[in-house]
Structure 1
């Protein structure tokens, strides 16, 4: 079965206040990521396209973990386990287990994004937390980080998608 994105991509307002501008930009890039998967079957979504084995679905898995880590564990201060089993391996969020299908990974990503939206809605942009490395970060900086992280990986997804089937500009 081919993938169809369950979310609509909405162009961010150019006159929104700061909070809305940040959250709209992040939602735009989240939706863009899922558009990169449109029309591909599970095999192509899982197909490793780099020397390190990166695939489109692995990018979604990584960003699900990133959303969860930054918003739930770091900002909200909850000590929750990773969304996917890592077996203690570094960069395991960039690799897919055999049972991690598009439904499983995208479902987890959607839940992580929804949970992140709730955490952000309950917070203030100037709230400061301490990261695991000991650095301080406010919610504004965390949102900016997630925007750049998701946008950067959308660039990777562009290249992978074009390499898979020639599709550009999704």
Structure 2
């Protein structure tokens, strides 16, 4: 659980770590078929959420903030869709690796560091961290509902 009396940087980091761990915890005990099963009219699955958040972490922390020159992981319109060869092991492993790279980038940065987004807007690391806490928490809400629909499991 995140600390209740911590500084700004630590609070942001702890909240994001908590949300990341919550997402991965939503997958516990499910077989690959259940993880990839589309559970909404738009086709979202638990693994689709993992894939999307992997792309989001990669985009904001590595490409936009750190300026890493590497291609997008998937086309933007494909990041919620799980392909036939994309197993839970592959997608979760990729998520964990991207999160680790993001941690390193954030640790080396300052909250007031400014970057320019692809749309031309400026953002600082603080705003990116807040956005990623919000984005991951929002999709964890989706994961809660999807997981409950699969096997009745509820919780964090």
TM over 0.5: yes
Q: Which residue of structure 2 lines up, in the alignment, with residue 48 of structure 1?
A: 38
Q: Distance in 2 between matches of 1:81 and 1:103?
A: 22
Give 1 or 2: higher helix fraction. 2
RMSD: 0.9
Structure 1 outlier segments of 4+, above 3 Å: none
Q: Which residue of structure 2 lines up, in the alignment, with residue 142 of structure 1?
A: 128
Cα offsets for 1:100-126 (capped at 9, x unmatched) = 000000000000000000000000000
Q: Distance in 1 between matches of 2:142 and 2:102?
A: 23
Shift of 1:95: 0.2
Structure 2 residue ranges without an equivalent (≥5) = none
Q: Which residue of structure 2 lines up, in the alignment, with residue 96 of structure 1?
A: 82
Q: Secondary structure at the match of 2:120?
A: coil
Aligned length: 156
Q: Which residue of structure 2 lines up, in the alignment, with residue 106 of structure 1?
A: 92
Shift of 1:79: 2.2
Q: Distance in 2 between matches of 1:140 and 1:41?
A: 37
TM norm structure 2? 0.97
Cα offsets for 1:40-92 (capped at 9, x unmatched) = 00000000001111000010000000000000000011221123x43xxx420
Q: Which residue of structure 1 lines up, in the alignment, with residue 105 of structure 2?
A: 119
Structure 1 residue ranges without an equivalent (≥5) = 1-10
Q: Which residue of structure 1 lines up, in the alignment, with residue 138 of structure 2?
A: 152
TM norm structure 1? 0.89
Alignment of 1:31-110 (within 5 A): 31-83=21-73, 85-86=74-75, 90-110=76-96
Cα offsets for 1:2-53 (capped at 9, x unmatched) = xxxxxxxxx1111111111100100000000011111100000000001111
